Amino acid sequence: MIWLRILVFLSAWAAVVGAQAQIAFRAATSAVAGNTITHIGASAIAATRDTCGDINPAIPAGTAGDLLVALVSARAAGATVQMANWNQAYADTYPGQQFQVFVFWRLATGGDPNTVTQSGTCDSIAAQVARFRGADPAQPLETAPIPAANVVRQSATNLDTGTQTTTFNGSMLLVAGFVANNRTLTEGAGWSESFDSALGLNRDVGLSLHYQLQAAAGAASVSNWDFSGAATEPNYGIMFALRPGPA
């Protein structure tokens, strides 16, 4: 009888230990990064227009569920700029410079709308779109709208950004650059270019988007990305991040 009781006790103890081990294993796997975010492509050229109005930036090819990011710049101070059925992540007007900047995003469905609507008066408008895969469909951007602390607005010969703090390993860091002249950027080491367009218009503009996978979550920013031409230009450097989706 004693041996039988010992055997029953050992069996129960083994079941508890096994359950705890199983729970610990599941907790560990839930901390593993999900999808790897990848850059799929960008529209080959920016859509532009002088004297303003509607423009239609090309949508790079991909599959439903991809994340589309659009940068738009209007050389105006009071123009109204919208992208129907897109989410506005950031908008600002540079004081005294006839210079407005916008970041929009949406999850691709196929046949995605691509009209940028402008009303009011301005000298020129430009837009370009990039496509990414593997972002979390429930919350693609780490912070949305993009906070002011992520942005540096300055007149300088280079571009700086504010700081983005991520919460997931494998996030995709993005730097959106807007320049109030037809300038390109020289990105820092380890960064890749989605697009970098120097656009000679009635009022010139530079549009650029660069990306980098972040191995470990934490704070990130960039500084001293030089412009072509070595001239002092009003500009925006915007740091934001895409969250990886579940595996």
Look at the chain and report how many structural domains it folds into. 1
Spatial distance between the Cα atoms of 180 and 207, rounded to a whole number of angstroms: 9
Specify if 136 maps to a domain.
Answer: yes
Cα distances (angstroms) measured from residue 130 to each of 30, 61, 203, 220? 30, 10, 23, 21
Model confidence at 57: pLDDT above 60: yes
How confident is the model over 70-81, as a mean pLDDT?
A: 93
Beta strand extents in 180-232 (DSSP E only): 192-199, 205-214, 219-220, 225-226
Range(s) of the domain holding residue 173: 38-242
Provide the 8-state DSSP code for 96. Answer: T
Specify if 154 maps to a domain.
Answer: yes
Specify if 96 maps to a domain.
Answer: yes
Q: How confident is the model at residue 1 (pLDDT cuts 50, 70, 90)?
A: very low
How confident is the model over 116-123, as a mean pLDDT?
A: 91
How confident is the model over 127-134, as a mean pLDDT?
A: 98
Say which residue, 34 or 133, is predicted with more confidence.
Answer: 133
- The whole-number pLDDT of residue 26 equals 27
- The whole-number pLDDT of residue 201 equals 93
Model confidence at 126: pLDDT above 80: yes
Model confidence at 214: pLDDT above 50: yes
HSE of 208 in the Cβ direction (CA atoms, 13 Å)? Answer: 30
Spatial distance between the Cα atoms of 221 and 12, rounded to a whole number of angstroms: 54
Specify if 27 maps to a domain.
Answer: no
- The whole-number pLDDT of residue 197 equals 96
Say which residue, 69 or 19, is predicted with more confidence.
Answer: 69
- The whole-number pLDDT of residue 86 equals 98
Specify if 54 maps to a domain.
Answer: yes
Specify if 247 maps to a domain.
Answer: no
Q: Which residues touch 222 (CB under 8 Å, ≥6 apart)? A: 159, 160, 161, 175, 188, 191, 237, 239
Provide the 8-state DSSP code for 3. Answer: H
Q: How far apart are the first and last CA of the chain?
A: 51
- The whole-number pLDDT of residue 79 equals 87
Spatial distance between the Cα atoms of 17 and 19, rounded to a whole number of angstroms: 5
Of 40-44, 107-111, 126-130, 229-233, the poorest mean pLDDT is in 229-233
- The whole-number pLDDT of residue 35 equals 85
- The whole-number pLDDT of residue 33 equals 53
- The whole-number pLDDT of residue 193 equals 98
Q: How confident is the model at residue 20 (pLDDT cuts 50, 70, 90)?
A: very low
Specify if 171 maps to a domain.
Answer: yes
Burial of 210 (0-12, 13-18, 19+ CB in 10 A): buried
Specify if 8 maps to a domain.
Answer: no
Spatial distance between the Cα atoms of 159 and 161, rounded to a whole number of angstroms: 7
Contact between residue 170 and residue 244 where contact means Cβ atoms under 8 Å apart:
yes
Joined tokens for residue 211: 């990306």
> Which of 205, 51, 55 is CA-nearest to residue 117?
55
Of 15-19, 153-157, 165-169, the poorest mean pLDDT is in 15-19
Spatial distance between the Cα atoms of 195 and 46, rounded to a whole number of angstroms: 9
Spatial distance between the Cα atoms of 167 and 26, rounded to a whole number of angstroms: 20
Model confidence at 209: pLDDT above 90: yes
> Which of 24, 34, 2, 30 is CA-nearest to residue 170?
34
Spatial distance between the Cα atoms of 119 and 80, rounded to a whole number of angstroms: 5
